[in-house]
């Protein structure tokens, strides 16, 4: 019994001794743990890590120690060690753990994992600059541009200043529609980095702000670095077009098309540049293709109208404007264009109706190809064409002094001729010549009117003046030839027709009239040759002369 009591006493003593030692050990570990955390918070990372390592090796329990040791390793740049520790406690949904893990995964190039952890962390309030920075880069790579800009803004606010931040944010801001931020960032980046992607985004951002002067410079730099971005060439074309470098603009638009830029606008713009370069027929191909891509593109129809005005294809102008109006697009100048087109087709009543429609609305003038014309003058021209000379003179009287032109004198002279008031007609023609002594059109039209008055000598003089002012005018040589022939100067008339045909060698009328003169001069072979040329170029009536005189 005594032995049993003794054994129990010894056991109790040993148990109490163990408890005292254990308590001392636990208290000591807690102190070391708290000390390590304090060192971590102070930035003494190496010392803190030593303490955390000892605690882990001694069997210190609790997930928190892995969080703190992982954080310490992270601060020391040991991303592998940090990730190992933080992975053990990531289920705790701690924003710091997720944020640091996200940064570690980014350093390992584990992009999906990094994005996953950083989104969780930042959504929960993690605000470390590198977390926002890396998440911004990841959003950029994923084409989530607005999210990328937001994260990169937060990264800068948190103190991140690396050059890549501003380059990425500048490019991202452009794609996110924040062009001011894009220009700000990329302009600063350009001082150190002159890369293709910087030039592209900066040039496009400037272009979208309509700052084409600066934008064109950057886009030309992108072109020199072999850009494959079709928008670069589209906006480069816009900038060059604004500078009136039309041939270069055409080349830029063509490159955009080659790179599969399919917006109808590129064809419309290239067509407009071709018009400005004198390539009217070529421009029609572009407008036609734009209409094929977008049948309701009113600008394409208007481009076609502009080209056909210069080609004087009046019927197509009327058709295209009718389509444009049906699509809901109407401009006040359309009345003027339609009136001119119908007048040219000798639809004088239709032309008059268009002019009157404008005048009823209080619109007194219109513009075509940058030139200003009076609706009252146009109305008077229509009335002259219809033989209503008194009404025409009343319309001409409404033309304001500031809107008077050489055409007013010429058309009014025609009205006076129609009323047999020849002195007034001659007076207006002389006024036109005095006021516009360098205008070949004035002298040409004056000659036509004098020819109508059968004053062939005066007509020859005016045609000669028109030719001296414009030696390339085939019509003036043709007119002078007719007047000379009416004076009995057939040989001289043939000489003028030779010159007219040299200048315009596909005009059937010129050949037919010269054939008639050759026949009068008893030169049958030359006459038959010219009649055959007239048929070749479309005057089928000349066949009657061939059949009658050339068999």
Question: DSSP characters for 197-241?
Answer: HHHHHHHHHHHHTT-HHHHHHHHHHHHHTT---HHHHHHHHHHHH
25 Cβ neighbours under 8 A, 6+ residues apart: none
| C-beta of residue 317 within 8 angstroms of C-beta of residue 305 | yes
- Whether 212 has a pLDDT exceeding 90, the answer reads no
Domain boundaries defined on the chain? 194-261, 506-551
Instruction: Give the pLDDT confidence of 41-91 residue by residue, as tens digits.
Output: 999 999 999 999 999 998 887 778 999 999 999 999 999 999 999 999 887
Give the model confidence (pLDDT) of 494-516 as tens digits.
999 999 999 999 999 999 999 99
Return the HEC string of 118-187. HHHHHHCCCCCHHHHHHHHHHHHHCCCHHHHHHHHHHHHHCCCCCHHHHHHHHHHHHHCCCHHHHHHHHH
pLDDT band at 26 (very low <50, low <70, confident <90, very high): low
* Inter-residue contact 506 to 537 (CB < 8 Å): yes
The answer to whether residues 305 and 327 touch, using CB atoms and an 8 Å cutoff, is no
Q: Which residue has the tokens 């007239």?
A: 534
Q: At which residue do the structure tokens 């061939």 appear? A: 546
Alpha carbon distance 127, 267 (integer Å) = 49
Banded pLDDT at 473 (limits 50, 70, 90): very high
The structure tokens 């229509």 sit at 382
Specify the residue for token string 């969780």.
Answer: 120
pLDDT of residue 12: 34
CA gap 78, 214 in Å, rounded: 46
From residue 441, alpha-carbon distances to 374, 406, 433, 497, 505 in Å are 18, 9, 10, 19, 22
Question: So what's the pLDDT on residue 14?
Answer: 33
Six-digit token pair at 311? 């080609």
Q: Are 497 and 526 in contact (CB under 8 A)?
A: no
* Class of the CATH-defined domain 194-261: mainly alpha
Statement: residue 470 has pLDDT above 70: yes
| DSSP notation for 29-66 | HHHHHHHHHHHHHHT-HHHHHHHHHHHHHTT---THHH
Q: What is the pLDDT of residue 378?
A: 95
pLDDT of residue 222: 96
Long-range contacts: 402-406, Cβ < 8 Å, 24+? 403/364, 403/365, 403/372, 403/374, 403/376, 403/377, 405/374, 405/377, 406/432, 406/435, 406/436, 406/439, 406/441, 406/442
Compute the Cα dihedral for 134, 138, 143, 144 and give only its sign. negative
Q: Is the pLDDT of residue 419 over 50?
A: yes
pLDDT in tens, 250-289: 999 999 999 999 999 999 999 999 999 999 999 999 999 9
Task: Tell whether the model's pLDDT for residue 17 goes beyond 60.
Answer: no
**pLDDT for the residue 233:** 97
Report whether 343 contacts 385 (CB < 8 A): yes
Contact 458, 450 (CB under 8 A): yes
Q: How far apart are CA 512 and CA 503, in angstroms?
A: 16
Helix 456-469 to helix 474-486 angle (10° resolution) is: 160
Q: Please state whether the predicted TM-score (pTM) of the whole model is above 0.95.
A: no
- Angle 204-206-212 from CA coordinates, rounded to 5°: 100
Tell me what pLDDT residue 62 has.
79
Q: Distance from CA of residue 201 to its chain's centroid? A: 16
How far apart CA 312 and CA 298 sit, in angstroms, is: 20
Neighbours of 91 (CB within 10 A): 9
């Amino acid at each position: 019994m005594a032995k049993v009591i003794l054994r129990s006493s010894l056991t109790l003593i040993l148990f109490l001794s163990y408890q005292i030692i254990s308590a001392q050990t636990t208290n000591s570990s807690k102190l070391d743990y708290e000390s390590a955390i304090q060192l971590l918070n102070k930035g003494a990372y190496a010392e803190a890590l030593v303490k955390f390592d000892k605690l882990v090796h001694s069997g210190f329990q609790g997930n928190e120690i892995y969080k703190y040791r992982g954080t310490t390793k992270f601060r020391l740049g040991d991303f592998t060690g940090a990730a190992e520790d933080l992975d053990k406690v990531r289920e705790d949904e701690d924003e710091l753990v997720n944020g640091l893990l996200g940064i570690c995964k980014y350093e390992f190039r584990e992009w999906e994992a990094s994005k996953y952890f950083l989104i969780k962390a930042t959504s929960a309030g993690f605000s470390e600059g590198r977390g926002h920075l890396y998440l911004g880069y990841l959003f950029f790579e994923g084409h989530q541009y607005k999210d990328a800009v937001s994260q990169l803004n937060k990264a800068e606010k948190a103190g991140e200043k690396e050059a890549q931040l501003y380059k990425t944010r500048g490019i991202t801001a452009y794609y996110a529609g924040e062009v001011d931020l894009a220009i700000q960032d990329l302009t600063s980046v350009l001082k150190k980095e002159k890369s293709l992607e910087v030039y592209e985004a900066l040039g496009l951002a400037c272009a979208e702000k309509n700052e084409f002067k600066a934008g064109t410079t950057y886009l030309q730099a992108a072109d020199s670095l072999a850009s494959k971005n079709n928008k670069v060439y589209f906006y480069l074309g816009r900038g060059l077009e604004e500078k009136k470098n039309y041939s270069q603009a055409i080349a830029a638009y063509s490159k955009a098309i080659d790179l599969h830029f399919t917006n109808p606008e590129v064809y419309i713009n290239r067509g407009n540049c071709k018009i400005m370069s004198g390539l009217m027929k070529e421009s029609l191909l572009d407008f036609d293709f734009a209409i094929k891509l977008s049948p309701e593109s009113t600008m394409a129809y208007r481009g076609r109208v502009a080209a056909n005005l210069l080609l004087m294809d009046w019927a197509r102008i009327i058709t295209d404007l009718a389509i444009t109006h049906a699509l809901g697009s109407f401009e006040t100048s359309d009345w003027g264009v339609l009136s001119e087109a119908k007048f040219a087709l000798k639809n004088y009543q239709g032309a008059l109706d268009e002019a009157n429609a404008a005048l009823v609305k209080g619109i007194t003038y219109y513009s075509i190809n940058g030139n200003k014309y009076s609706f009252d003058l146009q109305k008077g021209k229509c009335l002259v064409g219809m033989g209503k000379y008194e009404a025409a003179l009343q319309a001409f009287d409404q033309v304001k002094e500031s809107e008077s032109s050489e055409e007013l004198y010429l058309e009014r002279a025609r009205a006076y001729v129609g009323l047999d008031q020849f002195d007034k007609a001659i007076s207006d023609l002389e006024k036109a010549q005095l006021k516009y002594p360098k205008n070949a059109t004035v002298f040409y039209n004056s000659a036509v009117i004098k020819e109508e008055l059968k004053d062939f000598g005066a007509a020859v003089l005016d045609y000669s003046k028109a030719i001296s002012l414009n030696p390339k005018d085939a019509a003036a040589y043709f007119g002078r030839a007719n007047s000379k022939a009416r004076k009995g100067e057939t040989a001289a008339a043939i000489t003028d027709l030779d010159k007219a045909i040299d200048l315009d060698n596909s005009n059937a009328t010129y050949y037919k009239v010269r054939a008639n003169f050759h026949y009068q001069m008893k030169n049958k072979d030359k006459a038959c040759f010219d009649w055959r040329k007239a048929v070749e170029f479309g005057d089928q009536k000349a066949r009657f002369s061939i059949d009658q005189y050339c068999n």
